[in-house]
Chains A and B, each alone.
Chain A
Amino acid sequence: DTAVSQTPKYLVTQMGNDKSIKCEQNLGHDTMYWYKQDSKKFLKIMFSYNNKELIINETVPNRFSPKSPDKAHLNLHINSLELGDSAVYFCASSQVFGSSYEQYFGPGTRLTVT
């Protein structure tokens, strides 16, 4: 039973296109996150939602727009894709308020912009 799932796993698209990545967690957590892992494997947080409220919005181009329809889902929409957006995008979830602090990660979406 997958805890944090993402679709699609792979995404290949051309510059200028718009694409979305979806994430779902069935852990009952109150907070979800988007991370970007670059080609050097460095992980950087992009956004976070707590119970549908945006609580982290790092320095990310406004072409990136997260949406959380409910606390189990967090989507990432990217407009006007650029070559530099090529990376692996990870969704994660955690229970921020409570005794469990660790985050659980999805399998990642490898985005390739050509």
Chain B
Amino acid sequence: AQSVAQPEDQVNVAEGNPLTVKCTYSVSGNPYLFWYVQYPNRGLQFLLKYITGDNLVKGSYGFEAEFNKSQTSFHLKKPSALVSDSALYFCAVRDNGNTGKLIFGQGTTLQVKP
């Protein structure tokens, strides 16, 4: 069965420093991977996706993610964190069926301190 793991409940980083939010996955076949961000009292916003092609995917708000097939990882990165990046981040993998179902990780809270 497909699954996603986000090993860190919270990541703390100083403003201006690079950030990484980790995600590992388990799927049969080629993975379709996604990152979403949720600000307090808001819905989830799509950040980026990996379907095929380059392993480094660029997304919204300066975020990028690196797909690593051998390590079954899809870590979210940003070269220079902003206080406004503080939010809850979800990694997700698309289920293999034709339903478009997404399986989400448990979420990682990113705290960027000034």
Contacts and interface: CB of A to CB of B under 8 A. Distances in A.
Interface of A: 4, 31, 33, 40-43, 45, 48, 50, 55-56, 90, 92, 94, 96-97, 101-108
A110 B32 CA distance: 30
Contacts of A103: 46, 100, 102
A25 B34 CA distance: 21
B100 A31 contact: yes
Contacts of A97: 98
B63 to A, nearest CB: 14
Contacts of A55: 98-99
B49 interface: yes
Interface of B: 32, 34, 36, 38, 41-46, 49, 51, 88, 90, 94, 98-102, 104, 106-107
A45 B101 contact: yes
Contact of A107 (B43, B46, B99): B43
Main secondary structure of the interface of A (DSSP, over half): strand
Most chain B beta-carbon neighbours within 10 Å: one of A43, A104, A107: A43
Contacts of B41: 108
Most chain A beta-carbon neighbours within 10 Å: one of B36, B49, B102, B106: B102
Contact of A108 (B43, B51, B101): B43
Contact of B100 (A40, A41, A94): A94
A64 B8 CA distance: 33
A90 B98 contact: no
A101 B101 contact: no
A102 B88 CA distance: 18
Contacts of B51: 101
A108 B42 contact: yes
Nearest to A110: B41
Contacts of A96: 98-100
A106 B43 CA distance: 6
